A and B are shown apart, each in its own frame.
Chain A
Amino acid sequence: MSDSALATVLIAMIGGAIRVSTPFMFVALGETITEKSGRINLGLEGTLVLGAMVAYMTSYKTGSPWVGVLGAGAVGMALGGMHGYICKLPRVNDVAIGIAMMSFGVGLAFFFGKPYIQPTAPRLPSVPIGDWLGASPQLKVALQVNPLFLVGLAMAAFLWWALRNTRWGLILRTTGDSAAAARAMGISVDFVRFLATAAGGFLAGIAGAFLSLYYPGSWNEGLSSGQGLMAVALVIFARWDPLKCVLAALLFGAAGALGPSLQSIGITQGYYFFNAAPYILTLLIMIATAGSKRAARDVPGELSMTR
């Protein structure tokens, strides 16, 4: 009995990890781009929530979830661009601006999202990978993969390659490691950071679209439970490496799926405690990695917050 129960939990956790990890992955990849340029955007939680609302609204109005995804990305890019523009003003603190943008984004999302709590919008389809592999029914359910998950994987690989091997990647890394060196190369540091923050916002917006259009797949005010914030912490853990971001996102997804998985075999004790598992995991990871020498080596030199 315990064997099959364990298998059920494991399969549910794998499925959950794939399902739950996608928003972590997108926010973390976006934040990696931003932080590689030497700036931090703590406001991605607000971007995520606003993106979720806009995606749901657009999908409901146009009938196409993919237009919703693009709309969420566009709004996220606007918020990110705003953050990027404000931060280049002298004496403005990027951490504080992040907190302000968080409350700004959440406020707008709740304000305009009120009429969309009731209606159901068209959702994103899923890719049945399990069917192609001829897996067992349980595994098939677990391997109902969202296309955005696959897009995220491809993007992580592309970013990993592009950061090392392209001119854009070099410019981004130089700006993040030494603004003085970048200026000497004739790069406009503020403009690169503006673009990097806008790109980060775009990806965070898409992460929000995943929440409202796929899993959990509806819009309400309690939709995000801090994924945007945890993903920022996750980037530090992944040491600004896109591929490690994917692994970290899967780990977080599995942690988030722990409560529901245990519930699926009848263990409901401590459901709320397991809900807190991702936060506790994030905190433990931050404690374990913050002071380490290896993190200190990989951190972009211009980053103000990770000391």
Chain B
Amino acid sequence: MQRLMDTLASTSADGIAATGAASDFGIRARRAAEYILVPLFALAVSAALFSGFLLLVGKSPADFYQLVWRGGFGTAFSLQNTLQRAAPLILTALAMAIPARIGLIMIGGEGALVLSGFAAAAIALPLIGRAPAFILLTVMALAALAVGAAWVGLAGYLRHKRGVNETISSLLLTYIAIAIMNFFVEGALRDPGSANKPSTFPIGEANMIGKIPGTDVHWGLVAGILLAIALWLLVSRTTFGFAARITGGNPRAALAQGLPVGRLIVACSMIAGACAGLAGFFEVAAIHGRANASLAAGYGFTGILVSFLARHNPLAIVPVAIMFGGIAASGGLIQRRMDLPDATVLVLQGFIFVILLVSETLYGRFQFFSGERSADRA
């Protein structure tokens, strides 16, 4: 319901823009300010509460935030490490954001990432040494995209056809995806050389995706940013995106308008799965070189938080993903220097997630941001 109001509000704002009202820019700026300031406020509150938590366990918050800065952003090395981690986060956050536009809380990014990464590594096996690298990589990418799209698309299809709750089903599909990968990686497709960590055979150094020239960051970051821009255009500047937003606001109204609600739901889910699948492809083709349990590193779950913090806006996802990439990158340093467990980052994320959702209650509470009302009165 609230989303419908937002939709209506923004369309009416568009209408004002068309007639060229003078105060239009001010209204838009104020509304945008609300969408930026409320999450920033939530972040500040989370940081303060987390500081209290650190004090309770006898650690210094100042040290912590200083180490996050140094380990995530302070040096060229740490910044590249951060960007390296931001790439899959952008993609998995997009996997959350696109279905959210149509009103679905789809949290299957982790599963789609794992299964797609595995599919990419598996389909490469018969081609290694027989095909040139770019053909191999193209086949791998296509397989990853297809598997990801099918996996999350299945949750969307079940949602539309049978009314199966997509949040639960997508999370179940994540568990199933990890089980499927384990089944093959510890069985039929296992490289006997991988003793400690069962893996598939490596795709080979020559077939890996290289780094962006002059950096230590792989091309997944570029792909993620380009995809974020493309999907932003899709959801905010096309009929498809408009129809999806209407459906997200009020499915019945969308049906009454003759919108193909089912196809929209499945399409959004498949786009989401393809995004997460691309993340899986890059993890295999640029980082690990093979499929193993390292694929299930939690990028899919952190991506959910990234998307919520970015208010499911594809463009806002990029900076937020970089921020969380930095927090993740500094994890090792914090662990060593402050003698904190590696789950510290998880706790911080949990704080941010809860506080952020609580802050949703602040929207519309402040007169200042609702420029529209004051314009009506004037």
Contact = CB atoms under 8 A, between A and B. Distances in A.
Given A110-B343, A111-B344, A290-B165, A279 B358 contact: no
Nearest to A275: B179
Contacts of A86: 354, 357-358
Contact of A104 (B2, B179, B308, B353): B353
A82 B354 CA distance: 10
Interface in B106-142: 107
A151 interface: no
B350 A100 contact: yes
Interface in B25-50: none
Interface string A49-75: 000000000000000000000000000
Nearest to B251: A307
Contacts of A105: 350
Contacts of A108: 347, 350
B368 interface: no
Interface in A258-286: 270, 272-273, 275-276, 279-280, 282-283, 286
B105 A95 contact: yes
B77 interface: no
Contact of A92 (B176, B349, B358): B358
A95 B182 CA distance: 29
Contacts of A100: 305, 350, 353-354, 356-357
Interface in A71-101: 82, 86, 89-93, 95-97, 99-101
A6 B76 CA distance: 63
B134 to A, nearest CB: 34
B356 to A, nearest CB: 8
Given A272-B186, A286-B169, A103 B360 contact: no
Interface string B360-376: 11011000000000000
Given A229-B172, A276-B179, A283-B172, A42 B357 contact: no
A293 to B, nearest CB: 11
B180 A286 contact: no
A219 B163 CA distance: 37
A91 B356 CA distance: 12
* Size band of the interface chain B makes with A: 35 or more
B179 A114 contact: no
Given A107-B347, A225-B175, A283-B172, A91 B361 contact: yes
Interface in A281-307: 282-283, 286-287, 290-291, 305-307
B357 A226 contact: no
B158 interface: yes
Interface in B270-289: none
A107 B346 contact: yes
B301 interface: yes
A246 interface: no
A287 B158 contact: yes
A305 B343 contact: no
Given A103-B346, A110-B346, A291-B162, A305 B167 contact: yes
Contact of B162 (A42, A99, A290, A305): A290
Contact of B357 (A92, A272, A279, A280): A92
Interface residues of A, number: 46
B92 to A, nearest CB: 14
B156 to A, nearest CB: 13
B346 A286 contact: no
Given A230-B172, A305-B167, A272 B358 contact: no
B169 A114 contact: no
B105 A291 contact: no
Contacts of B301: 103
A106 interface: yes
A232 interface: yes
B361 A92 contact: yes
B168 A273 contact: no
B107 A291 contact: no
Interface in B145-174: 158, 161-165, 167-169, 171-173
Interface in A200-259: 225-226, 229-230, 232-233, 236
Contacts of B358: 86, 89, 92
B357 A286 contact: no
Contact of B343 (A111, A232, A272, A283): A111
A290 B163 contact: yes
A222 B52 CA distance: 28
Given A272-B187, A275-B179, A93 B357 contact: yes
A91 B359 CA distance: 9
Contacts of B350: 100, 103-108
B351 interface: yes
Contacts of B346: 103, 106-107, 110-111
B320 to A, nearest CB: 16
A287 B164 contact: yes
A101 B349 CA distance: 11
Contacts of A91: 2, 360-361, 363-364
A283 B363 contact: no
A104 B305 CA distance: 12
B15 interface: no
B222 to A, nearest CB: 29
A280 B176 contact: yes
Nearest to B358: A86
A157 B90 CA distance: 49
**Minimum-distance CB pairs A-B, first 4:** A104-B350, A110-B343, A107-B346, A276-B179
Given A110-B341, A111-B343, A233-B172, 14 more contacts: A99-B304, A100-B357, A103-B353, A104-B351, A107-B348, A108-B350, A225-B175, A229-B172, A272-B179, A272-B186, A273-B179, A279-B179, A286-B158, A287-B158
30 contacts: A42-B168, A92-B358, A93-B360, A95-B105, A96-B105, A103-B301, A103-B350, A106-B346, A106-B350, A107-B349, A108-B347, A110-B343, A225-B175, A226-B171, A229-B168, A273-B179, A275-B179, A275-B182, A279-B172, A279-B176, A280-B176, A283-B172, A283-B176, A286-B158, A287-B158, A287-B164, A290-B163, A290-B164, A291-B161, A291-B163
